[in-house]
């Protein structure tokens, strides 16, 4: 493909000059400016093996993330509407040939029940997820799901942003999807390595590498100006995958002046009757995982990097320090599982993959506060039309935090008032006072006014 140059990426991975410690340190110094890196410079970071230089890189990644996004961690949960799928991906439990999986598609009333469960936990944004099926994940069914989710309000609590992760669409289908007022459209290439892709996707529409690769072009052409890309690490050399993922980001930014709003970094986890998931061809260890996350943060400073509950709490805490800015919490990866989890189901026979973090939303929130992070439920940018190029301008210039920090604190106060446990409130209120102390006087006044409005009973306070 025109922007995934496998030969060039392979040459970078073999280039001995990129092992030079002096050059690697020069790249780190450049990265601290938060203006991004080239593919060659990114390859040099992936080649770092010296522990001292690696530590310098990790500190730089943390500094860059805080410069752009502050100490915020945006919180969301996935909501699966169907696990029916016509593809046969070798790493996924939803694959067509998995005859042991109980197949379910939720109806609108069941989706409403799932949504109520999420709202009652305190969630404000969801990622709607569906397997690929001509009927069960058709655009208009997805759209009706979105409309139903948005319609539910429980004492001022509601889902305020719905991002969507579905199969690639045509331009006309993307236009219809946009009409339902979705947030970010998300679609992962899984692996950018062509031969690996063909092996991992033997049958089904997903076997068309090129159609999937250009999904974001069609989405943007259709007017969806916030898109999210990602790779599933473990299918091929993580260094190749990272550079190819960055190539995709650079391409979108150059062609549309809209880089990816988010980049996701899932690692392969065990999944029922999915051979590649049970024995990853190129398993990525924790040290390599931390390196690739830090590289992405330094190469593409403006993007939101998403970390899911595939990962265990211990590694999630470490990765927060290296540039992660969005996390899922209290997640379930099968249709209907939120309602069923109220009946003490810790695992689910219909899940897409095994989770590493089984904690509740409240437990994750408490942990984030104790680590010095500000959990954010803010969804203001979409409703204030800070999307696409406008969002990119604010993020690339480092000014997005001036808007996000106050909004994050107001939405967090709302969560504390309505949903938090006593223990979480204690940890959070102490953290909030410290967060406010760290802001300038003018911003602190705005924040205190917004928090007062929330404490007086107002909901969905933002500017």
Domains (ranges, CATH) in the chain?
6-66 (no CATH), 68-382 (3.20.20.70), 398-455 (no CATH)
Among the listed residues 169, 205, 195, the one whose alpha carbon sits nearest the alpha carbon of residue 96: 205
372: left (phi over 0), alpha (psi -120 to 50) or beta: left
* Six-digit token string for 274: 């999915």
| CB atoms inside a 10 Å sphere around CB 328 | 24
Mean pLDDT, each 10-residue run in order, the chain (463 residues):
91 96 98 97 97 98 95 96 95 94 94 97 96 86 97 94 96 97 96 98 97 97 97 98 98 96 96 92 97 98 96 96 96 90 53 88 96 92 84 88 87 95 92 84 90 94 87
Among the listed residues 121, 119, 115, 123, the one whose alpha carbon sits nearest the alpha carbon of residue 147: 115
Residue 27 CA to residue 44 CA, distance in Å, equals: 8
Which residues are within 8 A (CB) of 386 and not within 5 positions of it... i.e. 6 or more apart?
380, 394, 403
Measuring CA to CA, how many Å separate 48 from each of 244, 286, 318, 327? Answer: 18, 15, 18, 27
Global pTM?
0.95
Measuring CA to CA, how many Å separate 1 from each of 77, 142, 185, 194, 217? Answer: 33, 30, 22, 9, 13
For 336, list phi and psi in degrees, rounded to 5.
Answer: 90, 0
Give the pLDDT of residue 343.
53
User: What sign for the dihedral angle of Cα 437, 442, 443, 445?
Assistant: positive
Query: Angle 286-299/313-320 helices, nearest 10 degrees?
Result: 30
């Amino acid at each position: 493909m025109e922007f995934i140059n496998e030969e060039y990426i392979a040459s970078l991975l073999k280039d001995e000059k990129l092992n030079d410690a002096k050059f690697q340190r020069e790249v780190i110094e450049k990265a601290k400016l938060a203006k991004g890196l080239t593919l060659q410079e990114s390859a040099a970071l992936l080649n770092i093996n010296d522990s001292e230089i690696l530590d310098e890189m990790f500190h730089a990644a943390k500094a860059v993330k805080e410069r752009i996004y502050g100490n915020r961690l945006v919180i969301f949960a996935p909501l699966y509407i169907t696990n029916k799928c016509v593809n046969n991906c070798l790493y996924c439990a939803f694959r067509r040939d998995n005859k042991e999986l109980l197949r379910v598609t939720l109806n609108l009333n069941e989706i409403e029940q799932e949504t109520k469960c999420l709202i009652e936990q305190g969630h404000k944004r969801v990622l709607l997820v569906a397997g690929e099926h001509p009927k069960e994940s058709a655009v208009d069914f997805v759209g009706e799901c979105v409309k139903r989710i948005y319609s539910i309000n429980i004492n001022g609590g509601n889902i305020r942003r719905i991002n969507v992760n579905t199969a690639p669409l045509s331009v006309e289908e993307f236009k219809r999807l946009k009409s339902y007022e979705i947030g970010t459209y998300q679609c992962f290439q899984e692996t950018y390595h062509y031969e690996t892709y063909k092996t991992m996707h033997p049958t089904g529409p997903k076997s068309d590498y090129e159609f999937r690769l250009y999904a974001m072009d069609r989405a943007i052409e259709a007017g969806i100006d916030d898109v999210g890309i990602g790779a599933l690490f473990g299918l091929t050399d993580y260094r190749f995958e990272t550079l190819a993922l960055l190539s995709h980001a650079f391409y979108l930014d150059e062609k549309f002046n809209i880089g990816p709003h988010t980049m996701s970094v899932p690692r392969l986890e065990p999944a029922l009757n999915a051979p590649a998931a049970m024995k990853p061809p190129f398993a990525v260890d924790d040290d390599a995982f931390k390196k690739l996350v830090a590289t992405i943060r330094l190469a593409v400073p403006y993007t939101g990097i998403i970390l899911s509950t595939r990962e265990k709490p211990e590694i999630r805490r470490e990765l927060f320090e290296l540039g992660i800015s969005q996390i899922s919490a209290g997640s379930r990866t099968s249709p209907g599982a939120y309602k069923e989890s109220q009946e003490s189901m810790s695992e689910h026979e219909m899940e897409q993959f095994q989770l590493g973090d089984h904690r509740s939303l409240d437990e994750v929130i408490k942990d984030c506060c104790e680590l010095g992070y500000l959990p954010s439920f803010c969804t203001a940018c979409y409703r204030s039309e800070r999307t696409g190029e406008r969002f990119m301008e604010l993020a690339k210039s480092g000014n997005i935090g001036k808007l996000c920090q106050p909004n994050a604190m107001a939405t967090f106060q709302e969560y504390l008032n309505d949903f938090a446990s006593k223990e979480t409130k204690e940890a959070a209120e102490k953290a909030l006072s410290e967060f406010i102390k760290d802001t300038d006087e003018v911003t602190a006044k705005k924040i205190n006014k917004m928090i007062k409005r929330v404490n007086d009973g107002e909901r969905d306070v933002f500017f």
